[in-house]
Amino acid sequence: MRIEIAEADITKERVDAIVNAANPTLLGGGGVDGAIHRAGGPAILAACRGLGGFNVGDAKATTAGDLPATHVIHIVGPYWTGGENGEPELLASCHVRSLEVAAELGCRTVAFPAISCGIFGYPADEAGPVAMRATAETLQRLPEIEVARFVFHGPSSNRVQQAFERALDELTRECPAPGLVAD
């Protein structure tokens, strides 16, 4: 199993599933959500309408429409309110549930954005360790998923990417997992 970190456009990722950091309505929005809906075309919006909204930390899948991926796994991440209102647990749940849904779909490769680090205000230095630990632990029990790729793009991507890279480096130093390869 492998966790990769890269600067790239998630809408161009050739993976089995991309994760969409959506809003609770699933009907498109700004940031990653808007980019995925624009690039994927109307098929994604049509599929989302049939799902209804859902809770923070849960995940639901749709077609990827015109995207090179096969599936879009929609999650709603937590708004950052200081970290004392369950934000770390909810963010971890986003990663766990996304990978569980991906495994149910038979996916081997999944691309993630920096969930909640945009307009939801989650500090990258806080989100990185949560995302890396939840992903690594989930990959341990879902060996059918071979690659979890974290993709960063846009004006603040360098700072966020560096925070996630530090978190992954620290995780692999503190408790190296057999078979976990950080790229």
Give the catalytic positions in this structure: 33
Cα distance between residue 176 and residue 183, in whole Å: 14
Please report the beta strands in the chain, taking only residues with DSSP state E, as ranges in sequence order. 2-7, 17-22, 59-63, 71-76, 109-112, 147-152, 181-182
For 103-135, b where at least 16 C-beta lie within 10 A, e where not — what string? Answer: beeebebbbbbbbbbbebebebebbbbbbbbbb
Which residues does 69 contact at the CB level (< 8 Å), separation at least 6? 13, 14, 15, 16, 17, 18, 111
